[in-house]
Chains A and B, each alone.
Chain A
Amino acid sequence: MARRLLHLTTLYETARELGAMSSPQEVMNAFLLTAMGPLGATRGFVLTVNRFTRETRLARRGLEPEETAGLGQDLDGLLAACFPDQPQPRFGGQEMLALQELPQPAPAPLPPDTRILAAWTARGGMLGVLGLSDRLDGADLDQDDREFLKGLAGTLAGALKTAQATENIRRLNLELAAKNAELEEAAAQAEAARGDQARRAYQLKTLFDASRELAPQTDTREMAESFLLLCMGALSMSQGLVLVRDSRSGTPILASRGVELPPDHALAATLDAAFAGSPGNPIPMSCKVLVDPRLLAGAGLPFPAAALCLFAVDESCQGILALGSPLTGEAPTPDELELLAAHASSFLVFLGKARNFAAAQQANRNLAQRNQELQQLLEEITQCRLDLEGEKRHKARIISFVERQSDRVQAASRLDFAVILALALLLGLVFNASNPSGADMVPLAWSRPPAERIDAGWAKLRRDNGAILVDARPVQLYKQRHVKDALNLPASLFDFVFAMRLARLASQTEIVVYGHTVSRLYDEEVAFLLKDRGFENVHVMEGGLPAWMAMGLPVEPAP
């Protein structure tokens, strides 16, 4: 009875003691002591294993570490040893409790001298094992002991659950605190980022404004003024100078504020000194900001500069921006310098654009001039062509004129005929005059007294009265037809025929001569010859043979 009371008291105290504890390890250590005492065990261990996470907790008394080393390793062997009746115990829902006294030696992985073994399972795959050995009295467990152990095990399981829950809550709290800290840190970062963003936004707005101001400008000098004012405003400087040297246009661009300007040659020297003093000139379309006081002093600027920006559009166009005398009295911050660089880059872009614009304008002007020249050339060529066509027309006209003249030369002209006729006339007359057998040009009949003319009827009467009819025509004509019994006496045969037929006639013999043509006055000629021979009665029958025939007088041969 006393033992039962002791057991119950122990159980109650154990429960109360364990309930106050929050750490499972503490619970296990306390429990092991509590359990060993009433049962008189000198050595023992408590082991909890999470089947899924393999999280192992161990509390031991009187056992060496190597004796309990295999407990956490061989879970299947442990389960087989704890629940020989149920090789696959269930871990969900129903909790199990097994209590057994083990034969010696105890099966692995338990320590070999484990005598009493209590095992239980709990929700969440939790396995708990209590092993005791070396009872002082060496007796077996009686019913009370068994109940006591079951109670103890149950108490331990409950306490462990409680402790586990407590520990979980504590862990969750810790995690929550860590999360809170992280959140606070993130909030701080977000705040910093917002500030950064606002600064960026300000810079971007400034840049945007600068771009808007610079974009429409095409005059590089005005651009330099605007750029200088922008940079001075952005960095709160009271002195500033922009100097751009453009070998393409030749004239340097200078803009300054709050500075006593040196003469031009000094500015050029300043630019050279600034670029020479900087380690490595800026590459085209880039800029470099210098704040090193030593370099700034070496640049030879006309005022103490706080920042110097070197920039270059290309090899032919370089420039500097010098800023000094900050209104705040402080050196420019990296942000401001960054903004300055951004402004300078922006200015570079617009400067390049303005230069290209100027170059394009120049090219346009050149093109316009070239066009003008070409137009002029075209007009000249057109004029030349017109002139040429005129020349061609003239040439064609001249050639056709010459050809016409040539044709005219070849063609027979009146002059030709006149010359030929005149020549023939001249030669003929001259030659005839000088020719012994030439013909008389003037008819002899005109220079002789005309013979007495009688008509054909009177002529017949004269013949009937013994007059001789003489036919003066040439022989052929006489032969063709003549007055019957007429004597043929052509002038060409006059002497011969006269001598034969008329020479012996008396000079008073009446002779009637007939026969003439349009071309020859044979009768007149023969009449003159007869008279010349002394015949006094020589007549010419007018009308000749046709008149004779017209009167029907006889002719030979008869028609």
Chain B
Amino acid sequence: MTARLRTLATHPGLALAFRLYLGGLFIYASIYKIQYPAEFAESIAAYQLVPHFLVNPMAAVLPWLELICGALAVIGLRVRAALVVMTVLMALFTLSLAWVVALDIPIGCGCFTGQEAEAGPLTLLRDLAWLAMCLHALAFDRLLHLENRISWKISELPCPPA
């Protein structure tokens, strides 16, 4: 039973589902922010973590990073790198959120749009869940990678017994 649960929990299919979900999530999150970088810059500034001269460049670049990584994760190209970046981003977001919640800074999280409810513990839990999904995908995802097409060819080679 435990073995079945473990098999289910570590199943590559689950990791694929997480990967596709997170990819879609990142794409969705990036769209609005790409359109309104100034607004997103305010959200970043609200966290009071980034030096003032970096806030605007970050607001311009970060959504694109989300979009690229999300797209790569969805289409299955350079998935590992995309997942690593996504995990790092998600970890940063979560830490920032935790910082804000801990300091009780009254801001919206700025995760998707500029007009959001004030960030709180629930937002932090949601981000933690997404972070867990990222880590799971990073650990167990191996399906539907475009590079695997090459790997499949290699696995067809008659390998000598070890």
Given contact pairs A420-B65, A432-B37, A410 touches B51 in the complex (Cβ within 8 A):
no
The reply to whether the CB of A429 lies closer than 8 angstroms to some CB of chain B is yes
Q: Are B37 and A437 in contact (CB under 8 A)?
A: yes
- Complex formed: what's the CA distance from A24 to B104 in Å? 185
The reply to whether the CB of A142 lies closer than 8 angstroms to some CB of chain B is no
For B82, list chain A residues within 8 Å (CB): 420
Q: Are B160 and A424 in contact (CB under 8 A)?
A: no
Given contact pairs A425-B61, A431-B60, A479-B106, A406 touches B154 in the complex (Cβ within 8 A):
yes
Instruction: Provide the A402-423 mask, 1 if CB < 8 A to any CB of B, else 0.
Output: 1100100111110011001101
Q: Are B45 and A519 in contact (CB under 8 A)?
A: yes
Q: Are B147 and A437 in contact (CB under 8 A)?
A: no
Instruction: Provide the B43-81 mask, 1 if CB < 8 A to any CB of A, else 0.
Output: 011111111110111011111110111001000001111
For A427, list chain B residues within 8 Å (CB): 64, 68
Q: Are B37 and A477 in contact (CB under 8 A)?
A: no
Q: Are A417 and B81 in contact (CB under 8 A)?
A: yes
The reply to whether the CB of A396 lies closer than 8 angstroms to some CB of chain B is yes
Q: Are B154 and A403 in contact (CB under 8 A)?
A: yes
Given contact pairs A410-B151, A428-B61, A517 touches B45 in the complex (Cβ within 8 A):
yes
Instruction: Provide the A454-478 mask, 1 if CB < 8 A to any CB of B, else 0.
Output: 0000000000000000000010110
Minimum Cβ distance to chain B for residue A429 (Å):
6
For A517, list chain B residues within 8 Å (CB): 45, 48, 52
Minimum Cβ distance to chain A for residue B103 (Å):
11
- Complex formed: what's the CA distance from A424 to B59 in Å? 11
- Complex formed: what's the CA distance from A427 to B61 in Å? 7
Q: Are A521 and B65 in contact (CB under 8 A)?
A: no
Given contact pairs A420-B65, A437-B36, A409 touches B150 in the complex (Cβ within 8 A):
yes
- Complex formed: what's the CA distance from A429 to B81 in Å? 22
**Which 8 residue pairs are nearest across A and B when measured between Cβ atoms?**
A416-B81, A428-B61, A412-B81, A432-B60, A519-B45, A424-B65, A412-B80, A439-B56
Q: Are A399 and B159 in contact (CB under 8 A)?
A: yes
Q: Are A424 and B64 in contact (CB under 8 A)?
A: yes
Q: Are A519 and B60 in contact (CB under 8 A)?
A: no
The reply to whether the CB of B148 lies closer than 8 angstroms to some CB of chain A is yes
Q: Are A519 and B47 in contact (CB under 8 A)?
A: yes
Given contact pairs A417-B81, A517-B48, A476 touches B148 in the complex (Cβ within 8 A):
no
Q: Are B60 and A428 in contact (CB under 8 A)?
A: yes
Q: Are B68 and A420 in contact (CB under 8 A)?
A: yes
- Complex formed: what's the CA distance from A160 to B136 in Å? 158
For B51, list chain A residues within 8 Å (CB): 518-519
Given contact pairs A399-B159, A416-B78, A441 touches B52 in the complex (Cβ within 8 A):
no
Instruction: Provide the B136-158 mask, 1 if CB < 8 A to any CB of A, else 0.
Output: 00000000010110110010010
Minimum Cβ distance to chain B for residue A436 (Å):
10
Minimum Cβ distance to chain B for residue A165 (Å):
123
The reply to whether the CB of A395 lies closer than 8 angstroms to some CB of chain B is yes
Minimum Cβ distance to chain A for residue B13 (Å):
18
The reply to whether the CB of B25 lies closer than 8 angstroms to some CB of chain A is no
The reply to whether the CB of B101 lies closer than 8 angstroms to some CB of chain A is no
The reply to whether the CB of B41 lies closer than 8 angstroms to some CB of chain A is yes
For A438, list chain B residues within 8 Å (CB): 37-38, 60
The reply to whether the CB of A435 lies closer than 8 angstroms to some CB of chain B is yes
Given contact pairs A417-B84, A428-B64, A437-B38, A409 touches B147 in the complex (Cβ within 8 A):
yes
- Complex formed: what's the CA distance from A421 to B61 in Å? 9
- Complex formed: what's the CA distance from A479 to B68 in Å? 38
The reply to whether the CB of B31 lies closer than 8 angstroms to some CB of chain A is no
Minimum Cβ distance to chain B for residue A465 (Å):
31
The reply to whether the CB of A443 lies closer than 8 angstroms to some CB of chain B is yes
- Complex formed: what's the CA distance from A441 to B148 in Å? 40
Q: Can you offer 27 A-B residue contacts whose CB atoms are under 8 A?
A: A395-B160, A396-B160, A402-B154, A409-B147, A410-B148, A412-B84, A417-B81, A420-B65, A420-B72, A420-B81, A421-B65, A425-B64, A428-B62, A431-B64, A437-B35, A437-B39, A440-B56, A443-B53, A446-B53, A477-B106, A517-B48, A518-B48, A518-B52, A519-B47, A519-B48, A519-B52, A521-B52
